[in-house]
Amino acid sequence: MTRGRCNCGEVAFEVLEQASDIYFCHCSICRRATGSNGIAVIVVNSDNFRWLKGENSIKTWTKPAHDWQSNFCTTCGSSVPGKNDDVRMYVPAGLLSDADLTLKVAHHIWVGSKANWDEIGDSGKQHINGFENS
């Protein structure tokens, strides 16, 4: 189990499964949402995720004509966990406590959409379009 929280601590959660892989999305939507080269997340079963506090402090933005959503704390603006699909949650890796030292970037997704200044420097598998192509 590991815990995480936003910058101000208003939103807190725990993950009840041991994650080891970080998925780093380089798509233009994630770049704009974070203001950086993308977002690093772990993906966990929804049954193994629990909010500890602050669900009422979360705002969700949905990109028009897409299923893509971005969740953030209304107090500090930190990206916070959200629904990945019907059975999984995405959890921004930067919110997790430092106690979980086994995490590593295993996959870079939407590499075909990465910024021209973004240089991938680790051994994570690179996927051009999500997970369809390698």
Question: Could you give the domains of the chain?
Answer: 2-126 (2.170.150.70)
pLDDT at 101: 65
% of the chain exceeding 90 in pLDDT: 66
Residues 42-98: pLDDT tens digits? 999 999 999 999 999 999 988 877 777 889 999 999 999 998 888 999 999 999 987
Confidence (pTM): 0.89
Between 100 and 75, the more confident residue is 75
Computed on alpha carbons and rounded to an integer, the radius of gyration of the chain in Å comes to: 14
% of the chain exceeding 70 in pLDDT: 95
**Run of H or E residues at 31:** helix 28-34
- Indicate the range of 17-26, 98-107, 125-134 predicted with least confidence: 125-134
pLDDT at 3: 93
| DSSP class of 96 | B
pLDDT at 84: 86
The pair of structure tokens assigned to 49 is 């995720």
- HSE-up of 21 (CA within 13 Å, CB side)? 12
pLDDT at residue 116 is higher than 50: yes
- HSE-up of 108 (CA within 13 Å, CB side)? 17
pLDDT at 134: 47
Between 106 and 100, the more confident residue is 106
pLDDT at residue 133 is higher than 60: no
